Amino acid sequence: MTTETTFLKVDNISLRFGGTQALTSVSFDVYPGEILAIIGPNGAGKTSVLNCLNGFYRPYQGQIIFDRKDLTRLPPHRIAQMGVARTFQNIALYTGLSTLDNLMAARNIHMRANFLQCLIYWGPAHHEDIAHRVQVEEIIDFLEIEHIRKAIVGSLPYGLRKRVELGRALALEPRLLLLDEPMTGMNQEEKEDMARFILDIHEREHMTILLIEHDMGLVMDIADRAVVLDFGAKIADGSPQEIRADPAVINAYLGEAN
């Protein structure tokens, strides 16, 4: 494919923490409407790539182009406003808020009520809250979390929290969704639910999804393409079938055959 259809272009990014080289010249493209998996052993730099995409880390070299705009120097909240949402490996919800308010808080970037209108509340701020509540309720319906709508998320079990976090990312109405290990620590049933939600989102909204996952079987099932990282460098890139057959990938995961 040509660069014209590339949705997200990660071009030669390198990241360093003190003396540790976290990422070395990583490049890959994401095409609109696909599910791309980033896989690799622990410490390979998968989450670092996501953090660079978010603007949370600054690569010292390279460029990230999202929908023809350069993200590399933008602050995190600007990147989110451009339509990049994510979930976290270790759940990072707003623990003191209810499920509903977690999602409403994410709608913040679409809300326009100004400081003064918030102080007065009656009028614009109130109407806006109701309008956004409708959209948030749709996500709650979709993720089947109606029963915990008003529960404080700090008290929810792990699997539900993961789901609320996905809901919070969806509430941003992103164009690119970054999922950092959405299925770790879940049982088989919860994993299947989550996979179903991810595929549903993908099919309903044609959303582009970038996914980090360790469960290879699952990656093979739902990803269109995969990028393999090892020690901060990309070692393979292609369809799941190609990846599975790639000797470099087998080496990284299983060790040398000799």
Confirm or reject binding of residue 67 to other proteins (CB under 8 A).
Answer: no
DSSP three-state, residue 233: strand
> Which range binds other proteins by CB under 8 A, 7-15, 26-34, 92-100, 242-250?
92-100
Choose the binding region for other proteins from 23-31, 37-45, 78-86, 221-229 (rule: CB under 8 A).
Answer: 78-86
Q: What is the DSSP string of 56-95?
A: SS--SEEEEEETTEE-TTS-HHHHHHTTEEE--SS----T
The closest alpha carbon to 161, from 107, 92, 215, belongs to: 92
**Residues forming a β-bridge with 16:** 21
Task: Tell whether residue 97 is a contact of other proteins (CB under 8 A).
Answer: yes
Please give the single-letter amino acid code of residue 185. G
| DSSP letter assigned to residue 156 | S
Contact (Cβ atoms closer than 8 angstroms) between residue 18 and residue 225: no
**What are the percentages of helix, strand and coil residues in the chain, rounded to 5?**
45, 25, 30
Annotate each residue in 21-60 with x if it binds other proteins (CB under 8 A) or - if it does not, as one string. ---------------------------------x-x----
Instruction: Provide the minimum distance between the beta carbon of 178 and other proteins in the complex, in angstroms, as a whole number.
Output: 9
CA distance 93 to 63: 29
Identity of the amino acid at 134: V
Cβ neighbours, 10 Å, residue 143: 21
Write the interaction track for other proteins spanning residues 162-181; mark x where CB under 8 A is met and - where it is not: ------xx--x---------
State which residue, 24 or 117, has the beta carbon closest to other proteins. 117
Considering only 3-11, 105-113, 192-200, 240-248, which stretch makes contact with other proteins by CB under 8 A? Answer: 105-113
Q: Which is nearer to other proteins, 181 or 230 (CB)?
A: 181
Q: Closest Cα partner for 35 from 187, 253, 200?
A: 200
Question: Looking only at residues 188 through 247 of this chain, which bind other proteins when binding is defined by CB under 8 A?
Answer: none
123 binds other proteins per the rule CB under 8 A = no
Stretch that binds other proteins, among 12-20, 27-35, 147-155, 221-229 (CB under 8 A): 147-155
- Tell me: does residue 77 bind other proteins (CB under 8 A): yes
- Residues that bind other proteins in the complex, under the rule CB under 8 A: 54, 56, 75-77, 80-81, 85-86, 88, 92-97, 101, 104-109, 111, 113, 115, 117-121, 125-126, 128-130, 133-134, 137, 150-152, 168-169, 172
